[in-house]
Structure 1
Amino acid sequence: MNIFNNHTRDEEVVSDAEKGDINEENTGSEYELEGRLPATKIRSSEGIPSIREQDMSDATPQQKVNATDWNGINDPDNPHNWPMSQRVYHTVIPSLFGFAVTFGTSVYTPALADIMHEFKVSRTIALLGLAIYTLGIGVGPIITAPLSEGHGRKVVYMISSPIFMLFTMGAGLSNTFAGFCVCRFFAGLSGSPALAVGAGTNADLFPPQQRAVAASLFLMAPFAGPSLGPIVGGFVAQYKGWRWTQWCMLFITLVIFIGALPMKETYKPIILKKRAKMLGYHIKPSAEGPSLKRTIILKYARPMHMLFTEPTVFFFSLYTSFAFGVLFLFFAAFPYIFSRPPYSMTVSQIGLTFIAIGIGVLLGGITCVIIDRKYYQKKHQEALSEGRSHADPEHRLYSAMIGSWGIFIGLFWFGWCAEKGVHWAATLLGAIPFAWGNLCLFTSAVLYLVDVYGPLNGSSAMAANGVSRYGLGAVFPLFTFQMYETLGIGWATSLLGFLSLVMIPIPYLFFKRGTAIRARSKYPVAT
């Protein structure tokens, strides 16, 4: 058996005559009940009784009850049945955590001159503060996404955020550049769970046909963070100093963390486990228990295994990583371009140029929602009429197919306008289709990966995607200045444009051949 192929099962419940036990290694769905189950008198909003109000005092020793799944389609514990306001809240909070973490990437870049002066380092060395933070964001999901599958979503949010704030405070108080970089790395590492686990949370809250709007909201926030970071960072760096870039990160995260305290668990196996415990069951340790080696492989090596063995994960990670890397490259490129003649902008004015990225992100989110309503929902209704539960995942790729052209056009537009010294407004207009296409591509990729692999392995697939994206995001800014000085603004940006042109066929290929590719997957996939 390929141990990479095992995926987390819903917890299995079995009653014992004296105490009742949950054996995490069982694979059946029915168990003999003996004795008495406690009655809790809970009724769903639709009036359909929940299993928890069943008085089992008359249960015979051989009576069997399925206690491992929702109690019908109207089970009030199922997050799909929560009130819409509650589901929106549980979508917004992970989005805001994602905003706070990614805000920390770009809020730092306007303060490069201060960092260089205080720590006596070169511009490239100063950019390590961005690169190493971004690298931490990329590494973190390898651990946090599988942990969320084993222990739930909420605990990951609640533990990681205070640690993130502590390391951010440490970075702001650092008196050496080495200490600053260490704190920045661990801040990125501990802040990354919201980005990796958020996609799984959305899958918990919404069925596939309702997932696009929630995913668009969730994904706009991590892209809005890098867009707004330089705006805030530009003014803070110019008037208060570089340490205030870290204090801004701290204050924003603290407010979001306080708002997140009422969150509930959304992950089905953990909800069922807690419900079983409330009914009087106990966790029964496995007689042998999984080996440490097996646990490490399943929980931590699985994302990397998926990245290099699953064509779906690899190619979409490659494309989204490239686009993300270019976005992070702009954090260094914009100051390089707009601080020079004919623009000669101040630090705060350069920060304002990133409003163009923010506009593109907003338009990308709107585009994804419109495409979902106009195209995907029609395909979903057709699938229902044919007796299938959902549309094929390939219908998630419409946004990627049109957005890929926006990336290509935007890069050439921006690069050659900047090269020729065209008015700053016309130059920045080119950044809008790039950012629009970037979000369209990424939203499609997330929805496609989660639809293909489901909420269980979907988090690991997105963790693999995150490692790739933030890995390139960490590297690209480090060679920006050398590339632009050697090739010139026009040809350096054109090089990126030509690379984006090579990748345009990827979503089209999967749209046409996705079913055949999924059929060869080593992991459970949608059929």
Structure 2
Amino acid sequence: MGSDWDAEKATPPKSAKDWDGPQDEANPQNWSLTKRLYHSLIPTSIAFLCPFGSSVYTPGHMEVMSDFAVNREVALLPFVFYLLGLSFGPVLAAPLSETYGRKLVYLSALPISAAFTLGAGFSEGIASLIVCRFFAGLFSSPGLSIGTGTLSDIWPPEKRAVPMAMFISMVQVGPALGPLIGGYVTIEMSWRWTQWVILFGMAFVLGLTLGMKETYKAVILSRRAKALGIEGPDLPQANKTRIETIKFFATKTIVRPLHMLCTEVIVTLFDLYVAFNFGLLNAFFAAFSWVFQNVYGFGLGSTGLTYLGQLVGTIVGLCIMLYISVVKWPRDLEALKREGGSKLPPEHRLLIAKIGAPLLPASLFFFGWTARPSVHWIAPVIAEGLFGCGNLLIFTTASLYLTDCYGAKYGASAWSSNTFLRYLFAFIFPLFAVQMYEGLGTGWATSLLGFCSLALVPIPFAFDRYGAKLRSNTAYPSGE
């Protein structure tokens, strides 16, 4: 039991430090296609559900204002505190999953998140609603943060592009559909049903997770070693005292990501770029409702439909990403091999960002100066689509480029800093978005954001030129 080894089929291995050959059946990358697709559905569903849980609340905040007799800014706090919870959740998720396995993190965190979501739905005051939403976000995010690691466990590098693309795109599809579903649920039922919708989704994901097998290599091999009484892999926390273990976790989850954020130019600039875009994305969930209701007189349900523009843009971005990943990059690699090379440099990934970067400021200026009664409402919706497309392309590039630059050893820390900063910005931006639109008007408020976005456009182009030099001077080499 738990060894993933059939003693009747073959002689047990003498060591469990590595797989027993390339065809080892315990290796998740050797599972059947059906089994790998099933296990890929779990993190992909979580990637949809967790961000969906943030935005689905926003259409109901007007009812919350009425029910709890609070102003708009206070009624939006349950939305932004959920995002704040998402920023802190990944701190321990990755090292815990690398010590105790992916499945344990999924099965321990999601039920706690579900319990706090239940509490949010039954809240009788704004304070309890804010607290429950914060902890619901906090405990839903570990499953989100280890999703890419789970997919890397299951799929070999040459087959990883499509599942990774689906996972990353769900991070934007979820919040794009949240206001649409939340709007109609609030109209037909009440704001409390926005929380029940999240619970229905969690029940589905937890049902999938119950049938999950462990995917993390070191944990699988450690269990095999224990079952067979043989030498196992060297786990990072093995033979450490309690103080040493705490120091190890603190270094990996807090000190190193923050140090990389402050000292590594690649990490600093890409983290700021992605964080700014995520801040905008979540600010729009508050601001766009104001724009379409005040400029075009849309109702709650109709306003939710406008977010389909972002959804379409995300799908277009996904298609661009898949074409480059599945068609262009393999061709480039074959051409490189014919010239004697073996591996495309990380800067090759920046093509996706160079396509997406100009779309972001263009979409903001387009939205700002077409969202007016004299212009048909489809124009700002198209602008939303351009933003969704550009945002996905930048986000994808950050994930791939940081992983390639810092490798398996430091890539997780680089991405951890990115996750923390982007959800911190997502927490901050909605707090001032509506006030800014009321004070400056739609045109100049969006243009101000557009000028900020325009200043960030050179980042992928600069890394394309200077990235190799920056990587050669890093304190965190990829080792590859």
C-alpha spacing 1:491/1:193, structure 2 compared with 1 (3 Å): same
> TM-score, normalised to structure 1's length?
0.85
SS at 1:340's partner residue? Answer: helix
Aligned pairs for 1:366-381 within 5 A: 366-381=319-334
Counterpart of 1:48? none
Aligned pairs for 1:341-380 within 5 A: 341=295, 343-380=296-333
Contact 2:15–2:230 under 8 Å retained in 1? no
Once the 2 structures are TM-superposed, how far is the Cα of residue 351 of structure 1 from its aligned partner?
A: 0.8
Between Structure 1 and Structure 2, whose CA radius of gyration is higher?
1
Give yes or no for the alignment of 1:274 onto 2:223.
yes
Aligned amino acid, residue 159 of structure 1: S
SS at 1:473's partner residue? Answer: helix
Give yes or no for the alignment of 1:257 onto 2:210.
no
Contact 2:17–2:231 under 8 Å retained in 1? no
Give yes or no for the alignment of 1:196 onto 2:145.
yes
Cα distance in 2 for partners of 1:398, 1:295 equals 36
Aligned pairs for 1:89-108 within 5 A: 89-108=38-57
Once the 2 structures are TM-superposed, how far is the Cα of residue 526 of structure 1 from its aligned partner?
A: 5.2
Give yes or no for the alignment of 1:470 onto 2:423.
yes
Once the 2 structures are TM-superposed, how far is the Cα of residue 148 of structure 1 from its aligned partner?
A: 1.8
Deviations 1:145-174 (A, max 9, x none): 222222222211111111110010010011
> TM-score, normalised to structure 2's length?
0.93
Aligned amino acid, residue 54 of structure 1: T
Aligned pairs for 1:68-87 within 5 A: 68-87=17-36
Once the 2 structures are TM-superposed, how far is the Cα of residue 267 of structure 1 from its aligned partner?
A: 1.6
C-alpha spacing 1:38/1:221, structure 2 compared with 1 (3 Å): closer
Once the 2 structures are TM-superposed, how far is the Cα of residue 420 of structure 1 from its aligned partner?
A: 5.9
Give yes or no for the alignment of 1:41 onto 2:21.
no
Once the 2 structures are TM-superposed, how far is the Cα of residue 393 of structure 1 from its aligned partner?
A: 1.9
Counterpart of 1:505? 458
Cα distance in 1 for partners of 2:253, 2:72 equals 35
Q: Flag structure 1 segments of 5+ consecutive residues without an equivalent.
A: 1-36, 44-52, 57-64
C-alpha spacing 1:524/1:152, structure 2 compared with 1 (3 Å): farther
Counterpart of 1:32? none
Aligned amino acid, residue 522 of structure 1: A
Cα distance in 2 for partners of 1:92, 1:450 equals 22
Deviations 1:259-283 (A, max 9, x none): 2221122222112212212222488
Aligned Cα root-mean-square deviation (Å): 2.3
Contact 1:215–1:447 under 8 Å retained in 2? no
Deviations 1:179-228 (A, max 9, x none): 11000000000000122111112222233333221211001112111010
Cα distance in 1 for partners of 2:365, 2:479 equals 38
Cα distance in 1 for partners of 2:400, 2:350 equals 8
Deviations 1:224-272 (A, max 9, x none): 1101000110011112111000000011111121022211222221122
Cα distance in 2 for partners of 1:259, 1:293 equals 32
Once the 2 structures are TM-superposed, how far is the Cα of residue 112 of structure 1 from its aligned partner?
A: 1.2
Cα distance in 2 for partners of 1:252, 1:275 equals 34
1:161 to 110, 113, 119: 110
C-alpha spacing 1:82/1:380, structure 2 compared with 1 (3 Å): farther
Give yes or no for the alignment of 1:332 onto 2:332.
no
Choose 65-74 or 167-176, whichever is displaced more: 65-74
Cα distance in 2 for partners of 1:288, 1:257 equals 34
Give yes or no for the alignment of 1:323 onto 2:272.
no
Counterpart of 2:470? 517
Once the 2 structures are TM-superposed, how far is the Cα of residue 486 of structure 1 from its aligned partner?
A: 1.7
SS at 1:255's partner residue? Answer: helix
Deviations 1:468-501 (A, max 9, x none): 1111111111101111122110111011111111
2:196 to 229, 247, 272: 247
Q: Flag structure 2 segments of 5+ consecutive residues without an equivalent.
A: none
SS at 1:326's partner residue? Answer: helix
Aligned amino acid, residue 158 of structure 2: Q
Counterpart of 1:453? 406
Percent sequence identity is: 43
Once the 2 structures are TM-superposed, how far is the Cα of residue 386 of structure 1 from its aligned partner?
A: 6.3
C-alpha spacing 1:231/1:67, structure 2 compared with 1 (3 Å): same
SS at 1:430's partner residue? Answer: helix
Contact 1:196–1:462 under 8 Å retained in 2? no
Once the 2 structures are TM-superposed, how far is the Cα of residue 374 of structure 1 from its aligned partner?
A: 3.0
Cα distance in 2 for partners of 1:72, 1:509 equals 43
Contact 1:39–1:54 under 8 Å retained in 2? no
SS at 1:300's partner residue? Answer: helix
